[in-house]
Amino acid sequence: MSQPLNIAIAGLGTVGAATAQLLRDHADLLAARCGRPIALRAVSARDRSRDRGVDLSGVDWVEDAANLAKVPGIDVIVELIGGAEGVARELVTNALAAGRHVVTANKALIAHHGSELARAAEGKGGSLRFEAAVAGGIPIVKALREGLAANGIERVYGILNGTCNYILTEMRETGRDFNAVLKEAQKLGYAEADPSFDIDGVDTAHKLAILAALAFGSEVDFASVHVEGIRKVTADDIRFAGELGYRIKLLGIARRTEAGVRQRVHPCLVPESSPIAHVPGAFNAVVADGDFVGSTVFEGRGAGGGPTASAVVADLVDVARGARVPTFGIAANKLAKPRPVAISGHRGAYYICLTVRDMPGVMADVTAAFRYEQISLDSMLQRGRAPGDPVPVVLETHACEEAAMARALAKISKLSSMLRPPRMIRIEAF
Amino acid at 422: P
* pLDDT at position 388: 61
Domains and CATH numbers, the chain: 5-133 (3.40.50.720), 140-301 (3.30.360.10), 344-427 (3.30.70.260)
Q: Would you say 251 and 285 are in contact if contact means Cβ atoms under 8 Å apart? A: no
Average the pLDDT over each of 104-108, 229-233, 357-361, 417-421 and give the range with the smallest value.
357-361
Least confident of 111-120, 226-235, 331-340, 379-388: 379-388
**pLDDT at 148 (0 to 100):** 96
Distances (CA, A) of 16 to 36, 46, 80, 267, 284: 22, 12, 6, 32, 21
pLDDT of 424: 97
Tell me the per-residue pLDDT of 94-130, one tens digit each, with 9 for 90 and over: 999 999 999 999 999 999 999 999 999 999 999 999 9
At residue 1, the pLDDT reads: 53
pLDDT over 80 (residue 49): no
- Hey, how many other C-beta atoms are within 10 angstroms of the C-beta on 131? 27
The pLDDT tens digits for 140-197 are 999 999 999 999 999 999 999 999 999 999 999 999 999 999 999 999 888 889 999 9
64-76 per-position pLDDT tens digit: 999 999 999 999 9
Instruction: With cut-offs at 50, 70 and 90, classify the pLDDT of residue 246.
Output: very high
Query: How far is it, in rounded angstroms, from Cα 254 to Cα 227?
Result: 12
pLDDT at residue number 383: 73
Q: Give the residue-averaged pLDDT of 284-301.
A: 96
The whole-number average pLDDT for the span 401-424 is 95
In this prediction, what percent of the chain has a pLDDT beyond 90? 87
Catalytic residue selected from 107, 207, 334, 414: 207
For residue 187, indicate whether it is catalytic: no
Dist. CA 278–CA 276, nearest whole Å: 5
Q: What's residue 91's pLDDT?
A: 97
Average pLDDT over residues 362-385: 90
9: phi then psi, degrees, rounded to nearest 5:
-110, 125
Report the pLDDT averaged over residues 393-421. 95
387 or 237, which is more confident?
Answer: 237
